[in-house]
Amino acid sequence: MMYQREYKQKLKVAMVGIGSHAYRNLLPALNYLPVELCAVCNRSNEEILVNTARQYGCRHYMDSQKMFENEKLDAVFICTPASVQPHIAAQAFAAGVNVFVEKPPAENSEQILQMIKDRGSLVAVAGFKKAFMPATDKAIEIVNNPKYGVPDSILAVYPVKLPDNGKDILKNKEYTKWHKNSCHPLSFMLAVGGKVSYVTSHVGKNSGICIIEFENGIIGNLHLATGPQPNEMYNIYGNSWNVKIDNTTRVIFNRGIPFDYGHTESFISEGEDYGAILWEPQNCLATLENKALFIQGIYGEMKYFCDCILEKKVPERGSLEFALRVMKVCEAALFSEGKRVKIEEN
């Protein structure tokens, strides 16, 4: 990894939306990316806008269209409410600017489809940070290793509530906390499991579940938890192995041990080919891997976006097509009400 000041080739970028999330996470992450921040834009709170521009030594705008007209940009980071992100992205695409857009990129699947049409041949990545966590990278590495094979099931536990009036929400095109927050665990599940064929949801008094059937035969179970944080967990189960990700910071890969019921006397097997491997950040030094920017996948998603532009790669994980698949699962869960819903490909 390199620091911003060390890169020889840098993208000229701007950021639209400099609220709390952008200020805490996206702007600091630029310190580790091959970028030069040219401008920031915010349609309200001019004092905060001016102060932020002064802090980062860049120009400021309250009108995104004027910014795209005046600045010669390679890319823009959009961190605004989902209701306005498609419009700002369309402005950027029309100006020939590559787009990173926060999750979810829009309020519904129809709007994401339009964004795909507007994008053309430009690069667009949606900020599904859970799909870019180091823990996710390790899970994908294990799942793609032919030594272990395709997993049988994925269990995700996440504190989000599925509304019990999903069909009304879809009919009225409402944007809810379910849209905003379910994409976190769903993006992880789809990054690991692939494309989805069917979704079935069940809503309880204070919780619920979503059964997700993947095209490759994996069965996913998104358990909608209640209670205080931390309350996030992912388990991936294979034929003779499993991976557990706890609170996004602790990854355990259990490969099992040779076992003879009633005769195996030790839980520690001989050699190093069996048993559990543990990965977790160390916190005794002031390094990078224990910072939320890196643990939560914020650096990973933004670096991937920059790499796709510089290396002229078509994005896969986090692409608008990926975002569309996530949104379709989200919408199918709202529609299901206990019935199996088929996910149609566009």
CATH 3.30.360.10 is held by the domain 132-287+326-342 = yes
Q: Is the pLDDT of residue 4 over 80?
A: yes
Q: Is the pLDDT of residue 259 over 80?
A: no
Q: What average pLDDT score do residues 139-164 get?
A: 94
Q: What is the pLDDT of residues 17-32, one digit of tens each?
A: 999 999 999 999 999 9
Residues 6+ apart with CB under 8 A from 224: 158, 159, 160, 161, 162, 207, 208, 209, 210
What percentage of the chain carries pLDDT values higher than 70?
100
Residues 6+ apart with CB under 8 A from 166: 201, 333, 334, 335, 336, 337
Q: Is the pLDDT of residue 69 over 90?
A: yes
pLDDT of residue 240: 87
pLDDT of residue 72: 98
pLDDT of residue 126: 98
Which of 64-73, 201-210, 286-295 is most confident? 64-73
Half-sphere exposure of 323 (CA within 13 A, CB side): 31
pLDDT of residue 336: 97
As a whole number of angstroms, the distance between CA 76 and CA 205 comes to 42
Q: What average pLDDT score do residues 69-89 get?
A: 98
Q: What is the pLDDT of residues 81-112, one digit of tens each?
A: 999 999 999 999 999 999 999 999 999 999 99
Across the chain, mean pLDDT equals 95
pLDDT of residue 284: 87
| Domain coordinates in residue numbering, the chain | 4-130+295-319, 132-287+326-342
pLDDT of residue 260: 80
> Residue 321, SS3?
helix
Q: List the beta strands (DSSP E) in 29-176.
A: 35-41, 59-61, 75-78, 98-102, 124-127, 153-158
Amino acid at 28: P
pLDDT of residue 2: 93
Q: Is the pLDDT of residue 230 over 90?
A: no
- Residue pair 34/9 in contact by the 8 Å Cβ criterion: yes
The pTM for the full model equals 0.96
As a whole number of angstroms, the distance between CA 321 and CA 191 comes to 12
Specify the length of the chain in residues.
346
**Residue 65 main-chain phi, psi, to 5 deg:** -65, -45
Q: For residue 149, what pLDDT band results from cuts at 50, 70 and 90?
A: confident
Q: For residue 329, what pLDDT band results from cuts at 50, 70 and 90?
A: very high
Distances (CA, A) of 249 to 3, 156, 197, 244, 253: 23, 15, 30, 10, 13
Architecture of the domain spanning 4-130+295-319 = 3-Layer(aba) Sandwich (3.40)
Distances (CA, A) of 185 to 95, 97, 143, 247: 33, 29, 17, 12
Amino acid at 255: R
Q: What average pLDDT score do residues 155-161 get?
A: 95
As a whole number of angstroms, the distance between CA 237 and CA 223 comes to 16
As a whole number of angstroms, the distance between CA 200 and CA 335 comes to 9
Q: Is the pLDDT of residue 317 over 90?
A: yes
